[in-house]
Structure 1
């Protein structure tokens, strides 16, 4: 079963998956003892990045909530495929949790063949949402996204944009912007955020549509200029940067981070983790930390996150198929 399909259909009764109905004596005994040893957060990105920072803070908070050690293990590579596959193949006992991102929803459409079954994992709870922002070098002549789009139409083939790689969030976000506005720009993929940001800073590429997390300090220092935020409201951290909607572009998007677990994890364990993560996400300290990192806390609870991921699944499926985007 495609666990996100039920969320897309809005079928509340469907949220009680067969896997979660596993409430026999053995499962109940297992849940009562859970967690009896260390829990592992698997981050499919390198250490030191935005996802890693959020995951480590969340791990400390969950550790206090469950009174059990929670460690973070980084397994980067292949557009999060390596780390996700590790969790998909791990025992379904609640001790291995993926701190995934938007790639968890999009990879099934980007890759013709994956080393894991996408349906082997399911959403467990939201962590943070980071709106996308279009940025350019301080040396460039553009002042907003509206002007960027107008220039591209008047000068076809002249603009290019950087991304963190084919199928990355910046690539897909820009493709969504292209489909919404008719923006004319050539994709220049890089191997990661550092090289992509460097290309924009050097003027080698014209713009980048990134989540706020990795570019906030560069904007605040004046090295990059924010042209427009893909959010409903201006960001507290960047109050002078207008939203796309203020520029006549009805588009809100971004990247997100959340917890995923094996789909066949016993229901009582899933419910215990759901309650614990919901408690963690409701703490003011947790929410304040996420906001200081330039992101927005997501609503706690498995049901809400499952519905959110279901909508994202359908949104990006359409973008990927319309743009004929493929990693392979």
Structure 2
């Protein structure tokens, strides 16, 4: 009888050990195979708070939270035309928990000498979000009423027209240099610490023109202080439909600020499968479209593959264009 009871007890213990082992093993497997995402995601932003890049990135981060069900926390890392933030992103763990906003400077910083390893091939590109072409903009009381008058004067008066940009080597410096090269003119390039100070200098009559984006001059045009002579694009701007493009005037040049989202290279496919559709949904959201209308930029979604081809073509262009123009940081 005692022997029978002992055998039963040992059987119960063995069963408990077996069940505990299975539960433990099952818990370990569940943890290992937990679906992405299951914790906070960091959004790295290359620009200071309040600007266009920051606004787009934070809006998308907010929408991602709704779709993915985890916090998406934005962090600004400024410096070196975005190279500081992009280098940080590039060196992060490719697990989908660190993503970032990448601007047009992704295609430029290597040619400018800010970062030797930052280029489209160094990232997993998730999707393009926005684009805003350059303009040639003057004061409303300027003697130049058309882009033809502006170009004619520049040809007759080399280096006399002072054109403000957002900093040496910036996209808007490139825009001015591109217009200069295409029209066979010579400007006096005046760098500022951003587009806003350049526009303020134009309004204060300290310079003669700026080559910044549609979104950055829209409020000045609406207030009657500025006049856009041309948009440096192949398509008319929906915000200034009456303004001719440079291509319409015979100059086949396009310069635009653009942005999108990226992760470190070698992002696992299962993470991409969850993240890329969520990015697309966030970019196509009514929230971002509303801000785009208010801030005068275009929501221009491209999926990861399309965005990579676009960014690579831009990179190839600027790797030739920037040295040819003699532009250095």
> Is TM (by shorter chain) over 0.5?
yes
Paired residue secondary structure (1:299): strand
Structure 1: gaps spanning 5 or more residues? 1-28
The reply to whether residue 277 of structure 1 matches residue 279 of structure 2 is yes
Post-superposition Cα deviations, 1:122-170, rounded to whole Å, max 9, x if no partner, equal: 4221010111111112232112222211111111221121111111110
Shift of 1:290: 2.3
1:262 to 261, 264, 279: 264
Match of 1:318 in 2: 320
Match of 1:10 in 2: none
Q: Is the 8 A contact 1:137 1:202 kept in 2?
A: no
Structure 1 pair 167–93 and aligned structure 2 pair: CA distance change class (3 A): same
Shift of 1:101: 0.7
Task: Supply the distance in 1 between the matched residues of 2:73 and 2:146 (Cα, whole angstroms).
Answer: 42
Match of 1:41 in 2: 43
Match of 1:240 in 2: 242
Match of 1:163 in 2: 165
Shift of 1:204: 1.6
Task: Supply the distance in 1 between the matched residues of 2:68 and 2:77 (Cα, whole angstroms).
Answer: 24
Shift of 1:117: 4.8
Match of 2:78 in 1: 76
Shift of 1:110: 0.4
Q: Is the 8 A contact 2:59 2:287 kept in 1?
A: no
Match of 2:131 in 1: 129
Q: Is the 8 A contact 2:106 2:315 kept in 1?
A: no
Q: Is the 8 A contact 1:88 1:116 kept in 2?
A: no
Task: Supply the distance in 2 between the matched residues of 1:131 and 1:32 (Cα, whole angstroms).
Answer: 43
Paired residue secondary structure (2:212): strand
> Looking at both structures, which has the greater relative contact order when contacts are Cα pairs under 8 Å and sequence separation is at least 6?
1
Match of 2:221 in 1: 219
Shift of 1:190: 1.3
Task: Supply the distance in 2 between the matched residues of 1:115 and 1:181 (Cα, whole angstroms).
Answer: 32
Task: Give the TM-score, by structure 2 length.
Answer: 0.84
Residue-pair matches, total? 299
Q: Is the 8 A contact 2:110 2:117 kept in 1?
A: no
Q: Is the 8 A contact 1:281 1:300 kept in 2?
A: no
Q: Is the 8 A contact 2:110 2:116 kept in 1?
A: no
Task: Give the TM-score, by structure 1 length.
Answer: 0.84
Structure 1 pair 144–33 and aligned structure 2 pair: CA distance change class (3 A): same
Paired residue secondary structure (1:272): helix
Match of 1:301 in 2: 303
Please tell me whether Structure 1 or Structure 2 has the larger radius of gyration of its CA atoms. Answer: 2
Paired residue secondary structure (2:55): helix
Structure 1 pair 62–300 and aligned structure 2 pair: CA distance change class (3 A): farther
